[in-house]
Amino acid sequence: MKTFGGKALFLDRADINTDEIIPAKYLTENSKEALKPHMLEDLKLEGFDPNDQTVRESKVVVARSNFGCGSSREHAPWVFEVNDINVVIASGFARIFRQNMFNCGMLALELSEADIDGLFAYKGAGASIAVDFDNDKLTVESGKGGKTFSYHIAEFDRALVKAGGWVEFADAKY
Amino acid sequence: MAMTLAEKIFSSHLRDEPFPGAKVLNIDVVLCHEITTPIAINDLVARGKDRVFDTSRIKVVIDHVTPSKDTKTATQAKILRDWARRHKIKDFFDIGRNGVCHAIFPEKGFIRPGNTVIMGDSHTCTHGAFGAFAAGVGTTDLEVGILKGVCGFRQPETIRVNINGRMPEAVSAKDVILKVIKTLTVNGATDCVIEFRGEVVGAMSMEGRMTLCNMAIEAGGTSGVCMPDEVTVDYLWPFISADYKDKAAALEDFRKWSSDDGCNYKKVIDIDVTNMEPQVTVGYKPDQVKDVSDVAGTPVDQVYIGSCTNGRIEDLREAASYLKGRVISPMVRGILSPATPDVFKQADAEGIIKIFMDAGFCVTNPTCGACLGMSNGVLAPDEVCASTTNRNFNGRMGKGGMVHLMSPAVAAVTAIDGRIADPRKFRKEKI
């Protein structure tokens, strides 16, 4: 199983699409590692710089609704994976992106809009998020304190993460 | 119990339910292209599992960047080509015979009512036009599909969209689907199947139905679906005539892949097209849609007609009927990409290619081309493209570029005017 949690990157926008996460011109690469420098390169978000040190050090992405909409490209989870980001927390996901995350043994965690607001209260305070996968809880912490949230994960998705991904799960079973 | 079409397909294809609500389906058709498949192939090879579940159920095309533009894209094509040959996959379409995946695969009769279809491409939902469950998936799902012929889904709910009324002149399937997306919003159909019903859909050709289903994903939908009927039978008849004694028998068989009366819908939406205007997107989301009269006059640098949404013969006929005898604005670069070789040949036979070229359009080979800015027709920063494609995302056709989605009719008159224009103000010529 992958490790989950660390410094949080807050992307305060809904409908962040996979073209913004990894533009199509990089889909000519045949290795995941080659995608690494281009994470979130085309993200349209006021004040966001994809090359900023805090972006590069992040381990968890927090965003609003419909995260990962658009193209089916698994390059979107992969570009996070090769940058050591294995968790995205949002108030909603596009189906294919969400499935791709779990298929890769990564976490796409859905929280209510109120809880996402609660997480965003820690934006800009050097916040870290720890995921307690066995107990379905995540804790955000910064200089100004901390807070714990519960999340729900489908049993199938949990099994995929534990197996290390869909290839491993399916190969053992079908 | 009364069931939706999607429920019938799920129950008839259920391989396993490892957890309540998690459905692993047997897949009838696995479609592959050169952008999302090579990494799956490489991974299968690395795992010592370079096998395919059924060579006859895997269909392969090189379409996104063709001819290859550089060493990297040539390598992607080579990985796919070598794999198709190594596994003796008969239905492999390489350059000269290739076209945009969601146009060429239906044209070859590969998709049938009741099928389950996956591809590493989000616009796979197009194939639901045949009464199939067709879903775009990532490379890992594709890899398992290739190896095992299965794919996992949450049981989707169905949203029924009734489209009724009389289609006005210059309004097409593209305008209808843009209106549907505006109504549902970009995530209104997440984890849902969108079922297109009503007299307007019944009167639509398969081409029009594919345009509708193609953009189901832009509302978050897992698949679009239309109910199989006489139009479906007529379209598929060249491929199924040996299987049925007549078309009536085929229709009776296909009709079992329809939603039952009294089935359970998550939501029912009614759209009357009678007073609808042609629709155009603004902004960077496909649900940001306006009437053409609200955006007419917006200058554009490029007009692109093609793609899995609107690169079929009917689309070319519609655009050509406005372009015939006219010349496009000197301020505009016009690009036509017929979606398949058969579309190209048919358009040539009907004089449509000449109409486009006489008007000043560049005609490319069949390819995904400018739609996703990874081969030809890329925009410069701050340039604007009027496009018959399916996504207006920030940077989609080139960093800093702006895309307005529209029908072939609006695109054609926009090319003539150099600004977004209303086709109802132009005379159509017989072609």
Listed residue (B260, B256, B263, B180) closest to B224, CA to CA: B180
pLDDT at A143 over 90: no
Classify domain A5-173 at the CATH class level: alpha beta
Chain A residues with beta carbon closer than 8 angstroms to that of B18 = 156, 159, 173
Burial class of B248 by CB neighbour count within 10 A (0 to 12, 13 to 18, 19+): exposed
pLDDT at A33 over 80: yes
**Residue in the block written with tokens 């993460």:** A161
Chain A residues with beta carbon closer than 8 angstroms to that of B393 = 17, 19-20, 70
pLDDT of residue A117: 98
Q: Is residue B127 classed as helix, strand or coil in its secondary structure?
A: helix
Among B76, B190, B396, the residue with its CB nearest the CB of A94 is B190
* Token pair recorded at residue A144: 């100004």
DSSP A139: E
Chain A residues with beta carbon closer than 8 angstroms to that of B21 = 154, 156
DSSP A143: T
Partner B contacted by A151 (CB < 8 A): no
Measure in Å the smallest separation between the Cα of A5 and chain B Cα atoms.
23
User: CB–CB of B319/B312 below 8 Å?
Assistant: no
Partner B contacted by A162 (CB < 8 A): no
Q: B333 has which bridge partners?
A: B302
The sign of the torsion formed by the CA atoms of A7, A12, A13, A14 equals positive
Among A11, A19, A43, A95, pick the best mutation site for testing chain B contact (most B Cβ within 10 A): A95
User: CB–CB of B369/B241 below 8 Å?
Assistant: no
pLDDT of residue A124: 82
Asked whether the beta carbons of residue A72 and residue B122 sit closer than 8 angstroms, the reply is: yes
Query: What are the residue boundaries of the structural domains of chain A, listed by start?
Result: 5-173
pLDDT at A125 over 80: no
State how far the Cα of B414 lies from the Cα of B420, in Å rounded to an integer: 5
Measure in Å the smallest separation between the Cα of A132 and chain B Cα atoms.
22
Listed residue (A42, A78, A27, A35) closest to B69, CA to CA: A27
pLDDT of residue B71: 97
Q: Go through the domains of chain B in sequence order and give each one's CATH number.
A: 5-270 (3.30.499.10), 281-425 (3.30.499.10)
User: CB–CB of B41/B35 below 8 Å?
Assistant: no
pLDDT of residue B215: 98
pLDDT of residue B191: 98
Among B21, B137, B186, the residue with its CB nearest the CB of A69 is B186
Asked whether the beta carbons of residue B147 and residue A171 sit closer than 8 angstroms, the reply is: yes
Which DSSP string do the residues of A14-49 spell out, in sequence order? S--BHHHHS-GGGTT-SSSGGGGGGTTTT---TT--
Chain B residues with beta carbon closer than 8 angstroms to that of A104 = 140
- State mean pLDDT over A26-39: 94
Q: Is residue A137 classed as helix, strand or coil in its secondary structure?
A: strand
State how far the Cα of B221 lies from the Cα of B181, in Å rounded to an integer: 10
Q: Is residue B112 classed as helix, strand or coil in its secondary structure?
A: coil
pLDDT of residue A30: 83
Non-local CB neighbours of B82 within 8 Å, separated by 6+ positions: none
Chain B residues with beta carbon closer than 8 angstroms to that of A44 = 284, 394
Q: A150 has which bridge partners?
A: A137
pLDDT at A1 over 90: no
Measure in Å the smallest separation between the Cα of A73 and chain B Cα atoms.
6
Among B14, B62, B126, B140, pick the best mutation site for testing chain A contact (most A Cβ within 10 A): B140
Asked whether the beta carbons of residue A174 and residue B191 sit closer than 8 angstroms, the reply is: no
**Residue in the block written with tokens 């949690």:** A5
pLDDT of residue A144: 79
Chain A residues with beta carbon closer than 8 angstroms to that of B42 = 30
Among A74, A98, A106, A162, pick the best mutation site for testing chain B contact (most B Cβ within 10 A): A74
Listed residue (A9, A100, A129) closest to A63, CA to CA: A9
pLDDT of residue B157: 98
Partner B contacted by A17 (CB < 8 A): yes
State how far the Cα of B209 lies from the Cα of A141, in Å rounded to an integer: 51
Q: What ipTM was estimated for this complex? A: 0.97
Measure in Å the smallest separation between the Cα of B398 and chain A Cα atoms.
9
User: CB–CB of A160/A103 below 8 Å?
Assistant: yes
Partner B contacted by A23 (CB < 8 A): yes
Chain B residues with beta carbon closer than 8 angstroms to that of A171 = 49, 144, 147-148
Asked whether the beta carbons of residue A159 and residue B147 sit closer than 8 angstroms, the reply is: no
Asked whether the beta carbons of residue B22 and residue A167 sit closer than 8 angstroms, the reply is: no
Tally C-beta pairs within 8 A across A and B.
148
pLDDT of residue B148: 98
User: CB–CB of B269/B160 below 8 Å?
Assistant: yes
Partner B contacted by A103 (CB < 8 A): yes
* Token pair recorded at residue B210: 């594919």
The parts of chain B modelled with pLDDT lower than 70 are none
pLDDT at A39 over 90: yes
Q: How far is CA B147 from CA A167, B47, B140, in A?
A: 9, 12, 11
State how far the Cα of B74 lies from the Cα of B34, in Å rounded to an integer: 10
Partner B contacted by A156 (CB < 8 A): yes
SS (H, E, C) B147-200: HHCEEEEECCEEEEEEEECCCCCCCCHHHHHHHHHHHHCCCCCCCEEEEEECHH
What single-letter amino acid sits at B309? T
Chain A residues with beta carbon closer than 8 angstroms to that of B79 = 30
Asked whether the beta carbons of residue A159 and residue B136 sit closer than 8 angstroms, the reply is: no
B1-11, pLDDT tens digit by residue?
999 999 999 99
